[in-house]
């Protein structure tokens, strides 16, 4: 009689080479021998996905997205087959599958497909035979039988979706760090591992630059109430539990600090201050599929105003081109841009019920003489844009100001 079904997802660093794959195999076998049914989801070995994308770009600057998915999905096929072999070597029965084989059906949006349905029939059949199931993460198949992928970091989404469909008792995400930290430990030496965090906070942190889990996977987990345990594949320590908000979480004003260095700021100068102009500008930008993040505009006293906004750095050139066209159309002035920025954000559901949080964040930056270029806030987060060079110092100062290294509760 099984103690229940667990899903374990291993990220690229956890299966980076043969030795690590063997290490993962041992952990999987241990869990199986403890009496659980185990479904494993794997990422591609190390930085395989980056390398494959690079290869495509050596052929053409604009590879077909269908062919890109065909290409990058091979990474996960390699790791799941190798892991199956490593488990066999330990004398345990295991079988690997591609996304298509286990019926992960998606829409047609190559490179960022959405899951429509999972028909896990094959998984159930093989579990009954007491096998360990290994599923290639990150991939699915469209209704037209084309291979699709679920966006970078998409193995997380595979794991959460499978955990939901199979009614798993836990969904463990194995990575190379001990859990989710109050800030990136490479920047803040005394960053603290968070024991428990809400879906909402984790979703914000992931969207704001904390790279440990794909934001979409957390959205999915939140929607279906799949509890996640982020932990290290190199130790047995308990990691971070991501779950529904519980009462005690509200007392924590700030849960973590995130930094994103992958955005650039664009300013359209001397924009006529008239109704309808902002709508025109951002319609044209959206039309080019550019994702605008922060926007700052003030009422002018002279009849013309500057509008600044941030976009992913990868879209900067396209944005400048579109902004120039728009500027001519609406009779605005020059376009300025700056890649050397960093967005620093704090996140915490306690912000809903505490005041003065923004003031404290700004004060932390002021004390270090760091200038704030843009600000945006929402219910559970505050973001400031600063010069990229000041990014690390800003994170440290804010972490210190809110005393995040001290254990709460």
Q: Which stretch binds ligand ASP (CB under 6 A): 105-113, 151-159, 369-377, 386-394?
A: 151-159
**Which of 13, 43, 106, 310 is close enough to bind Mg ion by CB under 5 A?**
43
| Long-range pairs, 121-127, Cβ under 8 A, ≥24 | 122/97, 123/39, 123/97, 123/162, 123/166, 124/166, 126/95, 127/5, 127/37, 127/39
For residue 213, give the DSSP letter.
S
210 in contact with Mg ion (CB under 5 A) = no
**Which of 7, 16, 29, 75 is close enough to bind ligand ASP by CB under 6 A?**
75
222 in contact with ligand ASP (CB under 6 A) = no
**Which of 9, 12, 374, 390 is close enough to bind Mg ion by CB under 5 A?**
12
44 in contact with ligand ASP (CB under 6 A) = yes
Q: Which is nearer to ligand ASP, 75 or 179 (CB)?
A: 75
Instruction: Spell 157-188 as b/e; 16+ CB within 10 A means b.
Output: bbbbbbbbbbebebbbbbbebbbbbbbbeebb
User: Whole-angstrom Cα distance, residue 32 to residue 396?
Assistant: 42
152 in contact with ligand ASP (CB under 6 A) = yes
**Which of 153, 179, 256, 348 is close enough to bind ligand ASP by CB under 6 A?**
153
Contact code string over 171-200 relative to Mg ion, x by CB under 5 A: ------------------------------
49 in contact with ligand ASP (CB under 6 A) = yes
- Give the nearest distance from C-beta 364 to Mg ion in angstroms: 34
207 in contact with ligand ASP (CB under 6 A) = no
Q: Which helix (H) or strand (E) holds 32?
A: helix 18-33
99 in contact with ligand ASP (CB under 6 A) = no
Q: Which of 75, 80, 101, 99 is nearest to 25 (CA)?
A: 80
Give yes or no for a contact between 103 and 121, defined as CB atoms under 8 angstroms apart.
yes
Total Cβ atoms within 10 A of residue 241: 17
**Which of 43, 96, 233, 319 is close enough to bind ligand ASP by CB under 6 A?**
43
Residue written as token pair 């319609």: 283
Please spell the DSSP secondary structure of 81-108, one letter per residue.
Answer: HHHHHHHHHTT--EEEE-TTTTTEEE-S
Q: Which is nearer to Mg ion, 11 or 348 (CB)?
A: 11
- Give the nearest distance from C-beta 130 to Mg ion in angstroms: 30
Q: Which stretch binds ligand ASP (CB under 6 A): 122-130, 149-157, 261-269, 371-379?
A: 149-157
User: Whole-angstrom Cα distance, residue 152 to residue 156?
Assistant: 9
Q: Which of 367, 356, 409, 408 is nearest to 390 (CA)?
A: 367
User: Whole-angstrom Cα distance, residue 94 to residue 196?
Assistant: 33
256 in contact with ligand ASP (CB under 6 A) = no
- In the structure encoding, which two tokens stand for residue 73, read together? 């999905």
**What residue is closest to Mg ion based on CB?**
12
Residues binding ligand ASP (CB under 6 A): 11-12, 43-44, 49, 75, 137-138, 152-156
Residues binding Mg ion (CB under 5 A): 12, 43, 49
């Amino acid at each position: 009689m099984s103690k229940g079904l667990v899903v374990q997802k291993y990220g690229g660093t956890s299966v980076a080479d043969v030795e690590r794959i063997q290490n993962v195999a041992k952990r999987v076998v241990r869990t199986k021998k403890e009496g659980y049914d185990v479904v494993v989801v794997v990422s591609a070995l190390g930085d395989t996905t980056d390398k494959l994308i690079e290869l495509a770009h050596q052929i053409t600057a604009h590879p077909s997205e269908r062919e890109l998915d065909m290409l990058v999905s091979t990474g996960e096929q390699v790791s799941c087959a190798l892991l199956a072999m490593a488990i066999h070597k330990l004398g345990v029965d295991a079988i690997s599958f591609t996304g298509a084989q286990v019926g992960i059906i998606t829409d047609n949006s190559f490179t960022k497909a959405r899951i429509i349905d999972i028909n896990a029939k094959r998984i159930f059949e093989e579990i009954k035979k007491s096998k360990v199931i290994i599923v290639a993460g990150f991939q699915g198949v469209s209704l037209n039988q084309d291979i699709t992928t679920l966006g970078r970091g998409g193995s997380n989404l595979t794991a959460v979706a499978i955990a939901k469909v199979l009614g798993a008792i836990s969904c463990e995400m194995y990575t190379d760090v001990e859990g989710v930290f109050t800030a990136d430990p490479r920047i803040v030496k005394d960053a603290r591992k968070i024991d428990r965090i809400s879906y909402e906070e984790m979703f914000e942190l992931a969207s704001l630059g904390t790279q440990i889990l794909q934001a979409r996977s957390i959205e999915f987990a939140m929607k279906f109430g799949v509890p996640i345990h982020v932990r290290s594949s190199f130790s047995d320590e308990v990691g971070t539990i991501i779950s529904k908000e519980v009462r005690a979480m509200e007392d924590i004003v700030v849960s973590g600090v995130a930094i994103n260095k992958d955005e650039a700021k664009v300013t359209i100068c001397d924009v006529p201050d008239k109704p309808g102009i902002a709508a025109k500008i951002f319609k044209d930008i959206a039309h080019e599929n550019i994702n605008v993040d922060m926007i700052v505009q003030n009422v002018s006293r002279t009849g013309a105003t500057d509008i600044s906004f941030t976009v992913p750095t990868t879209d900067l050139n396209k944005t400048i081109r579109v902004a120039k066209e728009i500027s001519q159309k609406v009779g605005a002035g020059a376009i300025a841009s700056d890649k050397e920025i960093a967005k620093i954000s704090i996140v915490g559901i306690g912000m809903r019920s505490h005041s003065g949080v923004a003031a404290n964040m700004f004060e932390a930056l002021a004390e270090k003489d760091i200038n704030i270029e843009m600000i945006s806030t929402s219910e559970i987060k505050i973001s400031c844009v600063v010069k990229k060079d000041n990014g690390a110092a800003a994170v440290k100062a804010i972490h210190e100001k809110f005393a995040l290294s001290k254990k709460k509760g």
